[in-house]
Amino acid sequence: MRAIPFLILLVLGWAAAAAAGDVEHGVVVGGVERSYLVHLPPGATLQKPAPVVIVLHGGGGRARQVARATLFSDLADREGFIVVYPNGTGRGPLLLTWNARYCCGHALREGADDLAFLAALIDKVAADNLVDRDRVYLTGPSNGGMMAFQAAAVLSGRIAAIAPVIAGMFGDEPPPKGPVSVLMVNGGDDTHVPLAGGWTSNRMTRRAWDAPIGPARDTLAYWARANGCTGGPAAARDGAVETVAYAGCARGTDVVMKVIHGSGHVWPGGWRSRAGGKDAPPMDATRVIWEFFKAHPRR
């Protein structure tokens, strides 16, 4: 493999155990068995259709790792939604990546059909659980966030909203077929996925990409066009957090970016931040993302 551990591993670390409620499942896509963890909220049976949040790990990560890093399972237990943590692909069970157009690593080089995997995963989770199909959401850091962008562009009919974190798009993606609400969360000082676009600053990571990332504001504008937004972008700042938002978007969608100035390539408010990471920013991304998802079912 030409690409080696990169991006999110720089900030999340390795020790990550699955929560007691996490169960591993598999689905065969194109003759290849793919795996994912499902975390159900407490209780023997869901009494009504539940939202589903799919959390895609960063490059070089894995499902169990991002479960601990983001603390989504803890929030799911309190709020009553299902969390799914899929695994990307790699040469072994560790150091997994996603094929997100021009990034990253093994998945990109081997042409992994991750779009088909995510489509099949959504259908399988809905078949196995009581799921609200109008409340299926994607999020994830770094390479996982890149994959969330690509999936929403292709699978817009299945996804209500996405919230990529410290991620971006490449600038030549075709428009999605339908509206998808978007919340972007980016670090103002991120040099691995630069806010202004360009190549990552990490030499090892650079070998995992085939093209530079586009500017974050161009990605935001892409989704504003896709959602037919008529107003904006308008910016407001509260301390270190700058919010840039478009208004007048189709079918109740919203297109929003939160830039955390002074923050780098880290999941804001996640496990590492709470453990005293030096880049700990003044925002709980997991909570903010869930509140955004709650307000944006597919219409």
- Give dist(CA 122, CA 38) in Å, integer: 12
Q: Which pLDDT score, from 0 to 100, does residue 272 have?
A: 52
Q: Which pLDDT score, from 0 to 100, does residue 93 have?
A: 85
Domains and CATH numbers, the chain: 9-294 (3.40.50.1820)
Q: Identify the CA nearest to 2 among candidates 200, 279, 208, 295.
A: 208
Q: Which pLDDT score, from 0 to 100, does residue 177 have?
A: 87
In the numeric block, which tokens belong to residue 272? 């590492």
255, 222 contact by CB (below 8 A)? no
Q: Which residues contact 188 (CB under 8 A, 6 or more apart)?
A: 195, 240, 242, 259, 260, 261, 262, 263
- Give dist(CA 90, CA 106) in Å, integer: 6
Q: Which pLDDT score, from 0 to 100, does residue 213 have?
A: 97
Q: Which residues contact 127 (CB under 8 A, 6 or more apart)?
A: none
Q: Is residue 255 classed as helix, strand or coil in its secondary structure?
A: strand
259, 237 contact by CB (below 8 A)? no
Q: Which residues contact 253 (CB under 8 A, 6 or more apart)?
A: 161, 179, 180, 181, 182, 227, 229, 296, 299
- Give dist(CA 81, CA 21) in Å, integer: 13
Taking 50 as the pLDDT cut, the residues of the chain under it are 1-20, 44, 273-280
In the chain, the N- to C-terminal Cα span, in Å, equals 42
